[in-house]
Amino acid sequence: MARFNRSQVPFYATVQDEDAEETGEDVTRDDSWDYTAILWNGIQEEAVQTAFEKLSYREKRLLEERNAVCMTCGRVSPLSRRRTFEDLALMFEGSSASGAERAYRRAVEKLTVLLVEAGALHAIRLRQKSKTSRKKKTAAAVYEYQADCDGEWGEIQFDFENSTAEIVRLADWDTTVTNIFAKRAIQFLLDCGSEKLPKETMIVFEP
């Protein structure tokens, strides 16, 4: 097993958190990757447009309205202009705010997977296997991780009291020398803090 502490792993990029509280609006941070940084940064533009066109009309509208971007012209509006999940629910009659949020997260994940398949992004799925608590705080946990949304899951053990982690088993497609997927997963979870650990989440980063 490989052991790491916080100073030995690189900073993670962005995250889509599937365990966030539903309808909890936060205009400073969305639980998805940064569209303004990825959608229109030259080399990724074509890949994003191709992937976007594979989505359904509803998925496209959810992504554009929630993130205040126009996928046709590339215009990015201020965050104050983006739609709340309550707004999205009204746009799609018969949906609740929580239902709109779930649909939005599914659309983000679908677009992410398409971009991973196109080689434009890397992604790491994380799911909590077990945890140990002491004095109402998470002292340790075991997470499984999957590299690029495919293959067998790996496993990482965390000691949050000492801010360390051990790679028990590498996921398929993870690099045996640099362990790039495992290290990014470790950094993200150590930075979360023991009180804000997600049960399931997805981390994305550019190759």
Which amino acid, one-letter code, is at 145? Answer: Y
Q: Which residues contact 50 (CB under 8 A, 6 or more apart)?
A: 118
Structure confidence at residue 10 as a pLDDT band (50, 70, 90): very low
pLDDT at 71 over 70: yes
pLDDT at residue 206 tops 50: yes
Q: Work out the number of other CB atoms within 10 angstroms of the CB of residue 201.
A: 23
pLDDT recorded at residue 14: 38
Is residue 93's pLDDT more than 80?
Answer: no
pTM of the model: 0.75
pLDDT of residue 58: 92
Pairwise CA distance, residues 44 & 77, whole Å? 20
Mean pLDDT of 97-125: 91
For 84-107, b where at least 16 C-beta lie within 10 A, e where not — what string?
bbeebbeeeeebebebbbebbbeb
Q: Which residue has the higher pLDDT, 76 or 13?
A: 76
How far is C-alpha 40 from the chain's CA centre? 19
Q: Provide Rg for the chain, Cα atoms.
A: 18
For the segment 142-190, what is each residue's pLDDT rounded down to a tens digit? 999 999 999 999 999 999 999 999 999 999 999 888 999 999 999 999 9
